[in-house]
Amino acid sequence: MPRAAVLSGLGAWVPPGTLTNEKLAAELDTSDEWIRTRTGIGRRHIISAGMCTSDLAVEAGRRALESAGAATVDYLLLATTTPDRLCPATGPEVATRLGLGTIPAFDLSAVCSGFLYGLQTGRALVLAGLAESVLVVGAESFSTLVDPEDRNTRPIFGDGAGAVVLRAGHSDEPGALRAVNVHSDGSLAELITVAGGGARARAAGDDRPAHIRMRGRSTFMAAVSHMEAVTRQTVDEVGWQLADVDRVVGHQANVRILHSLVKHLGLPESAAIVHLHAVGNTAAASIPLALHHGVTTGRLGVGHRVVTPAFGAGATWGAAALVWPDVKVLPG
């Protein structure tokens, strides 16, 4: 049986602080009703002073290792767009705090598709025989990137982390990543940008703050079409029919995107796992947090055929397909 990267552990963690729609409506020209009906979001978790992305990553990573029953791994990949600092990468600090010794650890930046890029990279290391196990973490503190006065972005994003352990196994096992596809198109870079804070701004003497800006409507349309295409590609590659898919655990950006996606795929709304009401859009943490929500609520069960499409800034997009394994998870 061919070698495969097998999902063997899952962890999630969100910081305790919450920001409700009501609180936002007291500070911005918006309302609970607008945010709920246009996005599906009810609240988001926000880091408190002194906390940062590494803290979230360590909590989720520890839970994933415990879920897998693994004391160590060969690599740690941290998907994040909100590293603690521009330099050094946050991954090594997370590995050290998890007691993983001097294993290779690095950051990976693909924004809302970051977790899929992490899965693909971890899978490639396993398939190449360079690793027997990999911890893939998606962790974000997007609350540090939003302009507190921007009603277009602040209601959408939240903080959190999710992680999985991949181990070497066989392609017919539950949990085996049966297919992973990732894509990018830099011609769509202007859809979602953080103009301030990068080398381009510094070189130009531009000292605008590092705030995220999004062209919401165009991003919405691109998200639905690319997530649909990559889901079809991934399901085809595994040899499934779309009707075989039990759960779509998609990037949690907007409930209308998730419902539109399953409709385009000819699947019932109930196939979509929806978690954004409680956490908002957590970028690279979004899919592992939604997987964890699915398992802890019983909506995602052993034997389900799962596809995980995502779309994000870059533009980047991707999807993975697997049969859900019997993983024990701790509360997030």
- The smaller minimum CB distance to ligand COA, of residues 37 and 297, is found at 37
CB of 3 to ligand COA, least distance (A): 33
Dihedrals φ, ψ of 110, to 5°? -140, 25
Among 3, 17, 18, 30, binds ligand COA (CB under 6 A): 30
Dihedrals φ, ψ of 195, to 5°? -75, -40
Instruction: Give catalytic residues, as residue numbers.
Output: 112, 251, 281
**Stretch of residues binding ligand COA (CB under 6 A), selected from 32-40, 51-59, 270-278, 293-301:** 32-40
CB of 312 to ligand COA, least distance (A): 4
Report how far residue 232's alpha carbon sits from residue 171's, in angstroms, rounded to the nearest whole number: 20
Q: Regarding beta strands 18-20 and 43-45, do their DSSP bridges make them parallel or antiparallel, or are they unpaired?
A: antiparallel
CB of 162 to ligand COA, least distance (A): 16
Please give the full DSSP string across 74-102, using - where no structure is assigned. Answer: SEEEEE-SS-SSSSS-SHHHHHHHTT-TT
CB of 290 to ligand COA, least distance (A): 14
Among 3, 38, 213, 305, binds ligand COA (CB under 6 A): 38
Query: For residue 288, how many other CB atoms are within 10 A of its CB?
Result: 31
Report how far residue 146's alpha carbon sits from residue 236's, in angstroms, rounded to the nearest whole number: 38
Report how far residue 312's alpha carbon sits from residue 50's, in angstroms, rounded to the nearest whole number: 28
Q: Give just the sign of the alpha carbon dihedral 166, 180, 280, 42.
A: negative
Among 21, 39, 54, 234, binds ligand COA (CB under 6 A): 39
Among 18, 96, 152, 233, binds ligand COA (CB under 6 A): 152
Q: Note the Cα 89 to chain centre separation in Å.
A: 18
Please report whether residue 155 would count as binding ligand COA according to CB under 6 A.
yes
Which residue's CB comes closest to ligand COA? 216
- The smaller minimum CB distance to ligand COA, of residues 11 and 312, is found at 312
CB of 53 to ligand COA, least distance (A): 17
Report how far residue 221's alpha carbon sits from residue 124's, in angstroms, rounded to the nearest whole number: 31
Among 17, 18, 34, 263, binds ligand COA (CB under 6 A): 34
Q: Regarding beta strands 305-307 and 105-108, do their DSSP bridges make them parallel or antiparallel, or are they unpaired?
A: unpaired
Beta bridge partners of 4: 169
Among 128, 217, 241, 298, binds ligand COA (CB under 6 A): 217
CB 262 within 8 A of CB 269: yes
- Residues in 162-201 that interact with ligand COA by CB under 6 A: 192
Please report whether residue 113 would count as binding ligand COA according to CB under 6 A.
no
Dihedrals φ, ψ of 328, to 5°? -90, 135
**Stretch of residues binding ligand COA (CB under 6 A), selected from 29-37, 74-82, 122-130, 175-183:** 29-37
CB of 217 to ligand COA, least distance (A): 4
Give the x-and-dash track for 246-275 against ligand COA (CB under 6 A).
-------xx--x------------------
What are the helix (H) ranges across the chain? 21-27, 32-39, 53-68, 91-97, 114-127, 199-203, 216-238, 255-264, 276-279, 286-297
- The smaller minimum CB distance to ligand COA, of residues 15 and 280, is found at 280
Dihedrals φ, ψ of 42, to 5°? -110, -35
CB of 13 to ligand COA, least distance (A): 21
Note the residues at the interface with ligand COA (CB under 6 A).
30, 34-35, 38-39, 112, 151-152, 155, 192, 216-217, 219-220, 223, 253-254, 257, 281, 311-312
